[in-house]
Amino acid sequence: MKKNISYVSAAEAVSHIKSHQHVHISGVANVPHILIEALTQRADHGLVEDLHFHHIHTEGPAPYGAPEYEGIFTDQGFFVGANVRASVNAGYADYIPVHLEETPAMYRSGALPCDVALIQVSLPDNKGHVSLGTSVDCTKAAVECAGCVIAVVNPYVPFAYGDLINIEDIDYFVQDARPLISIEFPAPSALDYAIGRRCAELVPDGACLQMGIGSLPGAIAKQLEDHKNLGIHSELFCDGIVDLVEKGVVNGSMKAIDRGKIVASFLLGSQKLYNFIDHNPEVQMRDISYTNDPWMICRNPYTVSINFATEIDLTGQICADSIGTRLYSGTGGQLDFVKGARRSAGGKSIIAMPSRTSKGKSKLVSVLTPGAGVVTPRADAQWIVTEYGAVNLYGKSLQERAQLLIGIAHPDDREALDREAFKRFGPHFKAFHSLNANQEKEPVYVLK
């Protein structure tokens, strides 16, 4: 190694952060909490103010978005996680709408300042490189652009291959040895399995998959166990994918790029998932400008992207970041993969969701709730899946889309949706009920 690592305390490291600076934080499970704690203590003593924080979704305590630090910390994340959701919706924290593929370019272009990068890394290898472990995301770009890079070296951070960091690019090193935040998602429900089965039926053998995390992606993974030669190119992947690797279902043998490799940018899941990527040459953790580039995504044939929504209107406008005006998450990488999958030879874009919310409200609506964000425009919508069926909106007119979507709504909501569609499109609209009088209470599966 060209440089021996000399460690300093967290307090000393963050003393180099000055008021009015913009600070990037490593995301998801790989947040350097020891540095956040030290910086919070510094703020409590009046030694720093007016700091601006940027990050994708983070796990764990988030004092940088807390109301009590108003005027001292300003959180402006690229995604709204549960730990800052209340503060964002109350106005104490803020959100920068951006497709995840473009977040590194915000730093690299200078559109968004990056004065300091707070990162967490693995133990170094014998070539003087450290890994960003479970979260490369836009952090590599932050390291490249920041005037000051502070790294927490943590033995619990897995050494993941892909985009590594040279220790020469780090200014201050801090030690910590706390396990990464892990999550055991709830077991899939019967509803999850019903939706998962619909999705799995649209996935051909040899497909290259993108999907997220949670109980529904877990159900989809279980439904893929009889498939063959699947590949993974995704912004993240779930524990269920590890199970599919162990069963030989996922091997990446049909990929055109990164053949035989699982490619992702960040992870959140169990310790088993984190152990899986540690020194695993079959996994590449890459900058999100690579994983989420639609022109890179489409190079793998039969790419199938599976994403989720909070609400979809009868013309195919897809909301996935908010509930009305209330921000829930963010734009994320949905449209990155929708466009990439649709451009792939034989590819498909799937948006999956239950037909109703947990409170019994239809998620298929005549018009989006006022204030709802359109993450995927109707011109980009393709496959929509609920527990009642799957429909392909691509190439369909507005009235045809309404008919198809009403057909996969909850049976008790179809008549009301028919009436709304009639009001919107006029007397020439052919109601779903009039076309399918014998199927009112039966699940439909429309493959067109």
Q: Which residues are catalytic?
A: 235
Dihedral sign for Cα atoms in the order 310, 312, 313, 314: negative
Distance from C-alpha of 122 to C-alpha of 246, rounded to nearest angstrom: 25
Burial class (CB in 10 A: 0-12, 13-18, 19+), 415: middle
Helix axes 215-223, 239-246, angle to 10 degrees: 20
The two three-digit tokens of residue 191, written as one number: 């509803």
The two three-digit tokens of residue 377, written as one number: 């425009």
Residues comprising the chain, all counted: 448
Burial class (CB in 10 A: 0-12, 13-18, 19+), 243: middle
Strand 208-211: give its sheet, edge to edge. Answer: 283-285, 262-264, 231-233, 208-211, 303-308, 348-352, 383-386, 389-392
Gyration radius of the chain's alpha carbons: 23
